[in-house]
Chain A
Amino acid sequence: MDTVRKGKAWVFGDNVNSESIMATGTDFNPALAAQSCLMFYDETFHTDVKPGDIIVAGRNFGNSSSRPAAKVLKYLGVSAILCESAGRIFYRNTWNIGVPVFECPKINTLFKKGDQVEVDVATGKIRNLTTGAEAQAAPPIPLLVERWSKGGMIDWINTRRDQYDTLE
């Protein structure tokens, strides 16, 4: 399995909240929510983000509401999130939805908007291909990586259906 993700960096500061990714009033519909995704923090993100792009953020990314905000990011093609720290519920949700999240101190200071990012989901090794800077993310929780490697929680459940006596 190819675990390397490459894309253009979108750089954000601290405390970007989940409602600003998937706003109330969009019926939590990813296509609808995508039209205002992150506009409070960067007005060009929702129009200019391209499949493969990577979010690089500061502390507490995705905090606040427990809504599955990463479904919007997945819909827009965001291939990974690198941040100094992530909101706990967002972190769990996002790996389960199938988008990897890595935590690495001061990571958003290593990138400028538009720099080329490379991250290896298997090792947590991060590189700024534009400047040559490198960083090593903290190891993620193994059971989340396993779910991600199967395509997310739903597909992971389907690889182990015999574990649930509630399923046919």
Chain B
Amino acid sequence: MKGHTATEKILALRGGVKEVFPGDVVTCDVDGVFVHSPWFFLDNWKLIGGVKRMWDPDKLIICLGHHVCLPSSNQYANDLADVRRAVKKYGFKHVYDMGTGNGHIIMLEKGHVRPGHVYVGADSHSTIYGAVGAFGTAMSYEIPEVLLCGKAWFKVPATVRVNLEGKPMKGVTARDVAQHVLNTVGADGALWKTIDFSGSYIHSLSVYQRMIFSLLAVEMGAVTGFIEPDDITREFLAGRTLNPFECIYNDPDCEFEEVWDIDVSKVEPQIAVPPRPSETTLVSAVEEKNIKVDQAFVGGCTGSSIEDFRMAAEILKGQKIHPDTRLLIVPGTADILKQLQKEDLDEFFTDMGAILSAPYCGPCQMCCYGHLGDGEIMIGTHPRNQPGRAGKNSGIYLASPYTVAAAAICGKIVDPRRFL
């Protein structure tokens, strides 16, 4: 008999059954629910009527400062006030308000995610929780029901493995490697599947850089982006979560439906072009097209860690921002902003004319500020560029902090290695 993947083992454990197989439908106890727009479930609770309470107010994490760092309209401010009243009424315990930042990073930074546990989020990027060895996935419309019963159903996904070996060449970041994976697997190459990221390269990365891979798993259709925990995971979690956990690993004899072996040493700087993140090509190829950039953005849940800002600064040191380009620096969370300040990077960026924002998702979608004019082009470290996220505008490119910073200097998309 073959062994089981980590996903199968977690779902069996939290589903209270001996074992599960890909394709089974299993109902699991949920260990945490992430929500950034609580009015969705609160409106549905009103429709259901007679809601006395949530199953466990300690298991809901509300991050109001995810999409906006300040109310973006009178309506939004009123909606937030409604939520705060509901928080008091139902006794929700974990609420992160304006200025706290991107909810997915908060979930991990504040120790709300433990390896071996099951998390659902009302946001497609909830695949990110796999970065510390949890089963994390998105549900959205069904969240109001999960909050009433504490359980969620899953079709057990088959697992595909992306094995990353080798050392990257100079100027190639985790984002470049992740974009290369997207290009290899494709927009639906892992539909309804777990992607298991493995290999010496992924285990050499910090948890923040691993988050890029787990989060972008959804752009390949995946249910979750799992990374087996290691010493780096345990070090990250130490002091963040006081709750006990047991790490769950793939059985050595488990079956992966497909395996992609990727030699990281051969990857060159990558860029996603419209209309979707998996439409990825070489930055050097896009450079030839002479694409002018109106807005360069370092931030979003795949590019707002302190490491991302250090990379941007490495490129920008001694340079000037192009007069036709605005550069936005949006730290992911308040903790990351504090670290920016500690390293004097806040001063560095603002001195050179960049716009330093309070923490949130930034203009990944145009929810707060940083909107594009008609026909304007943006390059960013954020995860998405699909049509419908930025009004009529769809001229959005996704790349590493190096490439975004280089575009801010040149006013167009260029291979960033000339600045390193």
Which residues from chain A sit less than 8 Å from chain B, CB to CB?
14-15, 17-25, 27-28, 36, 40, 59-60, 63-68, 85, 87-89, 92-93, 96-97, 141, 143, 153-154, 157-158, 161, 163-164, 166-168
Contacts and interface: CB of A to CB of B under 8 A. Distances in A.
Contact of B388 (A19, A89, A96, A153): A19
Q: 8 shortest A-B CB distances, which residue pairs?
A: A19-B388, A168-B50, A66-B140, A60-B188, A40-B387, A23-B388, A66-B124, A93-B141
Interface string B32-66: 00000000100010011111111100000000000
A24 B54 contact: no
A88 B70 CA distance: 32
A64 B142 contact: no
A24 B387 contact: no
B124 A65 contact: yes
Given A66-B124, A143-B153, A168 B52 contact: yes
Interface of B: 25, 40, 44, 47-55, 75, 122-124, 138-142, 144-145, 148-149, 153, 155, 187-188, 191-192, 219, 221, 223, 275-276, 365-367, 384, 386-391, 394
A24 B53 contact: no
A2 B391 CA distance: 39
B75 A27 contact: yes
A85 B48 contact: no
B123 A167 contact: no
A96 B142 contact: yes
A97 B53 CA distance: 23
Contacts of B155: 141
Nearest to B367: A24
25 contacts: A14-B188, A17-B276, A19-B386, A19-B388, A23-B388, A24-B366, A24-B391, A27-B75, A63-B187, A63-B221, A66-B139, A68-B140, A85-B188, A88-B191, A88-B192, A93-B142, A141-B25, A141-B155, A157-B145, A166-B54, A166-B149, A167-B48, A167-B50, A167-B51, A168-B50
A157 B44 CA distance: 11
A168 to B, nearest CB: 3
A98 to B, nearest CB: 10
Given A66-B138, A85-B191, A141-B25, A19 B387 contact: yes
A133 to B, nearest CB: 24
Contacts of B384: 64-65
- Which applies to chain B's interface (DSSP): helix, strand, loop or mixed? loop
A163 B233 CA distance: 38
Contacts of A87: 191, 221
Nearest to B50: A168
Nearest to A88: B192
Contacts of B138: 66, 89
B68 to A, nearest CB: 12
Contacts of B148: 157, 164, 166-167
Contact of A24 (B55, B144, B389): B389
Given A168-B50, A168-B52, A40 B394 contact: yes
A96 B153 contact: no
B53 A40 contact: no
Contacts of B219: 64
Contacts of A25: 366, 391
B44 A20 contact: no
Contact of A154 (B47, B50, B389): B47
Contacts of B365: 19, 24
A18 B40 CA distance: 17
Contacts of A163: 149
B72 to A, nearest CB: 10
A157 B124 contact: no
A156 to B, nearest CB: 9
Given A60-B188, A92-B139, A66 B123 contact: yes
A164 B367 CA distance: 35
A87 B138 CA distance: 12
B223 A157 contact: no
A23 B394 CA distance: 12
Contact of B386 (A28, A64, A85, A153): A64
A167 B141 CA distance: 18
B52 A167 contact: yes
Given A15-B276, A166-B53, A166-B148, A64 B124 contact: yes
A92 B192 CA distance: 11
A17 B278 CA distance: 13
A107 to B, nearest CB: 15
A61 to B, nearest CB: 10
A17 B48 contact: no
A21 B388 CA distance: 8
